[in-house]
Amino acid sequence: DAGVIQSPRHEVTEMGQEVTLRCKPISGHDYLFWYRQTMMRGLELLIYFNNNVPIDDSGMPEDRFSAKMPNASFSTLKIQPSEPRDSAVYFCASRTLTGELFFGEGSRLTVL
Amino acid sequence: GNSVTQMEGPVTLSEEAFLTINCTYTATGYPSLFWYVQYPGEGLQLLLKATKADDKGSNKGFEATYRKETTSFHLEKGSVQVSDSAVYFCALSKNAGGTSYGKLTFGQGTILTVHP
């Protein structure tokens, strides 16, 4: 299996622009998680899905953030409009029934 | 609610030194416990896990024992290498009927640096 695939790996954009991050989970995993990691705040859970349904989005910082999972093999995290404080590494992860999380390599976002 | 507390870092050791990173947890029931490692520029990856009391997880020379009486899951390695330099995260997951569910609760991470 190719593992969790994220794109883009790096994104540099200007404040106010829309950013879309993409994730393909491992086939057969029924949970998908979006995390954000910064030096200041560490690893933060933004939202997670079970069987494509959003279960807990309490970590989404504000209305500028949205996430979708239209099918079992694809999810997006969108920021509109983006701000410099959104600069971070965004990780997608999927998990097995035994609880093991498999992380993608992350999308490093820089908002100028 | 569930929570995980790790010893604060950063931890700096010389090669071949003994490593302990403390982790304690608060949870209802019988959670599964995990250690994840994050190498520079990469995502987190599972290092080891334990699913019930007194289980010992082990991998790559690292070990951790699920201690329900002390609600702890301390990570140990007898002789660290420079290549072990990374960030280590303790985590727990709720269980029901042998199946893990919901989100994982992570500790804040401990930075380990090993010098030659």
- The alpha carbons of chain A give a radius of gyration, in whole angstroms, of 13
Does the structure show a pLDDT above 80 at A76?
A: yes
* Smallest Cα distance from B62 to chain A, Å: 17
- Do residue B109 and residue A42 have CB atoms under 8 angstroms apart? yes
Q: Can you give the pLDDT at residue B95?
A: 74
How many CA atoms lie within 13 Å of B58's alpha carbon, on the beta-carbon side? 7
Partners of residue B108 in chain A, C-beta under 8 Å: 42
- Averaged over A40-68, what is the pLDDT? 93
| A39: Cβ contacts below 8 Å, ≥ 6 apart | none
Partners of residue A103 in chain B, C-beta under 8 Å: 43-45
Cβ of residue A91 closer than 8 Å to a chain B Cβ: yes
* Smallest Cα distance from A81 to chain B, Å: 26
Of A33, A98, A106, which is closest to B103 when you measure between CB atoms?
A33
CB pairs under 8 A between A and B: 53
How distant, in Å, are the alpha carbons of A77, A105, B32, B78 from that of B83? 33, 19, 27, 14
Within 50-79 of A, beta carbons closer than 8 Å to B belong to 55-56
Q: Phi and psi of B5, rounded to 5°? A: -120, 125
Instruction: Kindly tell me the burial class for residue B87, based on how many C-beta atoms sit within 10 Å of its own C-beta (0-12, 13-18, 19 or more).
Output: buried
Does the structure show a pLDDT above 90 at A37?
A: yes
Parallel, antiparallel, or unpaired for β A107-111 and A10-13? parallel
Q: Can you give the pLDDT at residue A96?
A: 80
Going from the first residue of chain B to its last (116 residues), give the mean pLDDT of each consecutive group of 10, the final group possibly shorter. Answer: 88 97 92 94 93 94 96 97 97 75 87 96
Partners of residue A43 in chain B, C-beta under 8 Å: 44, 89, 106, 109
Distance CA A76, CA B92 (A): 26
Distance CA A18, CA A39 (A): 23
